Structure 1
Amino acid sequence: MPLFSFHRPPAAPGEPSVAASAPNGPRRWGRWGRWVGAALIVAGLHWSAMRWIEHAKQPANQPPEQKPPVQVELLTPKPVAPPAPVKPAEPAHVARPAPPKAAPAPAPVQQLAAPEPVLSAATPQPGEPAAASGVAASGAGAASASAPTAAAAAAPAAPAAPASGDKFSVPPTGDLRYDTLVNGVMNQTGTIHWTNDGQHYEMVVSIPLPFVGPYVYSSKGHIDAFGIAPEQYSEKRGRRAADVAVFNRETKQIVYTRTPNSQPLADGAQDRFSVVMQLTSLVRGAPDVYKPGVTRQFSVADNDSSEIWPMETVGDETVQTRDGFVAARHFTRLPRREGDRRKLDIWLAPSLGWLPARILQTEPSGMQVEMLWAGKLQAASAAENNAPGTPDASEETAPAADDASVRP
């Protein structure tokens, strides 16, 4: 018999019994258990999604470090040295050989005077031989004098070459592919369509974005004494109507469809994407100039305004693409004003003919849109891949020959 025993007194007539209230406890805990289980499942799904996003990122290309700019040299826009101004000098060189061809006209006189020195040798007469020899001497003197005269006339034509300026080499025509990433997550493949015939250019950048639609940036114009010269820049984001900026070279004004305002058109002015190819052309022409700390200013127009962009050379870095690691030179746009949150970083690769291997654009909202080199849609020309440094004169003077083999 136990030492202690507890006996519950019987329930009062109006009080519920323990047996009647006992089933409510397990039922209540079962309902809470289902809620807890559902919460754990949702948390597990979120954790799996975050792990998938982390795996989908490209960890090799880290965001650029924010270092304080150390400016070594400031370059401002000035005329470049394109091959076009050299062509007007060619007719002068073609017309120059014509006067020496007409100079041998005294030759018939020399043939008539040739027998007379023979007579003068048999019967030396001081009168006529002197005249004959004088004619022969004058003919020889005229012939000999004509050569220095032609050389003297040709001498001023040689310095007619254009004044020295920035070395400039526009990339040849080609369609370029880029892997696009939005906030580090792999997206669809984007493209850069680039056309250059030596006098005119066109650039169309297409970046697909999920749920929003493609971002399409278009720039077209010509090539002048300051390099790439846009005539019209169009920016279309998703399903929105396109915003257009027109570069009016006659009135020296930039007008916009987004705003009634207009701004002065500066020499060498660019738009947001032509500035990439302008920088590429400058670096292709003189890569040794752009050392770490060298900053170049560009006047750049957006879809509603124009301002100065200081682009600083950061240094040589390594970019990972789908084809492996690529050595590239890093350029970054310095803050244009206090609190400027929009950023632009460009990596130009010498092994790709100094074409962009990586472009990273950071919006004021913090969204990052990245383009990573993924190759060409068509075979590259031999002239583009031969020299990663300064191109030779044949590449600059005859870009149309390269374009014919690569033009889409």
Structure 2
Amino acid sequence: MALLASWTLPMPGGALAAVARLPPPGEQRFRVYYGDMSRDLVVAEIDYRLQHDGDAYEVGTRGKAVGMVAMFYSGVLVQTSMGRIGPHGLLPEQYSERRGKRPERVVRFDHARRKMIGLGNPPEVDLVPGTQDRLSVFYQVGLLARSRPALLERGQRFTMPLASMKGIDRASFTAGGAEPVETARGRVPAVRLTVRNEAIRTIRRSMSGWA
């Protein structure tokens, strides 16, 4: 049994060192493979776009299924997160997503009033300091990893407020240690992370990825 050390990240305004800077603006395309990459079974393509000027940021993704999978999952998933950049990382102000032909859904974060305006009932909920949206969370974890590498040592665990479309949950991240990832450009150093959201009442409440 692994021994886990748990961290609850200090909130903005506390004694927390500034996080690393965002990488330069740009665009990247990723392919998602089913199983080992050597089988060349591409099931999805995702484009990532990052823009920032030091004070404000905007990130976006555009993902679609390809190959045989496209027969069952048609349409495009478009996500956008925009907000400000503070000493402790990203401060989302608006998140939007559109799945295929469905209407766009939008969540807003009012930091002055400390409220999140979403699609729940009631639509406004208290905004927890440090909250990230479904897209900004990936960049925020990357910034934390670069500024506090101890968080990603094997067995370490930390939590982060994560906004859904209706409320704010607390996602738990567990580091699995160094695990290189094979890519089209060769082997890339990475750390395996498993994220778990107890608020999701389905088998999909946890997932693993690499940072």
The answer for the alignment partner of 2:207 in structure 1 is: 344
| Cα distance per residue 1:57-76 (max 9 Å; x no partner) | xxxxxxxxxxx774213132
Gaps of 5+ in 1: 1-67, 82-162, 349-408
Q: CA deviation at 1:294?
A: 1.5
* CA deviations over 1:235-271 (Å, ceiling 9, x no partner): 1111111111110112211112465532110111100
**CA distance in 2: counterparts of 1:213 and 1:274, whole angstroms:** 23
Matched, 1:187 2:43: yes
Q: Which residue of 2 aligns with 1:71?
A: 4
Residue 319 (structure 1) aligned to one of 171, 174, 181 = 181
**Amino acid across the alignment from 2:207:** L
1:267 is paired with a residue whose SS is coil
Matched residues in 2 for 1:182 and 1:291: separation?
A: 27
Structure 2: 5+ residue runs without aligned partners?
none
The one-letter code of the counterpart of 2:25 is: T
CA contact (8 A) 1:269 1:298 kept: yes
> Letter of the aligned partner of 2:167 in structure 1?
S
Aligned to 2:63: 207
Cα deviation code 1:175-206 (max 9, x no counterpart): 11100347985135321101121111111011
Greater gyration radius: 1
Relative distance call for 1:167 and 1:202 in structure 2 (3 A) is closer
Q: 2:53 aligns with which of 157, 181, 197?
A: 197
1:236 and 2:98 are equivalent in the alignment: yes
Map of 2:137 onto structure 1: 275
Deviates more, 1:274-283 or 1:297-306: 297-306
Please identify which structure carries the higher helix content: 1
SS in 2 for 1:208: strand
| CA–CA distance in structure 2, aligned partners of residues 80 and 169 of structure 1 | 18
Which structure carries more strand by proportion? 2
Contact 1:194–1:204 (8 Å) recurs in 2: yes
Distance 1:164 1:254, change over 3 A: closer
C-alpha separation in 2, matches of 1:174 and 1:80: 30
Match of 2:25 among 173, 177, 180: 173
Alignment deviations for residues 33-72 of structure 1 (CA, whole Å, 9 cap, x no partner): xxxxxxxxxxxxxxxxxxxxxxxxxxxxxxxxxxx77421
TM (norm. structure 2) is 0.83
Distance 1:196 1:234 in 2: 18
**Sequence identity percentage:** 26
Matched to 1:240, the amino acid is R
Secondary structure of 1:270's counterpart equals coil
CA contact under 8 A between 1:80 and 1:225: conserved in structure 2? no
CA distance 1:77–1:205, change in 2 (3 Å): farther
Structure 1 residue corresponding to 2:112, chosen from 234, 250, 260: 250
CA distance in 1, matches of 2:8, 2:17: 12
Task: Give the conservation status (yes or no) of the 8 Å contact 2:8–2:158.
Answer: yes
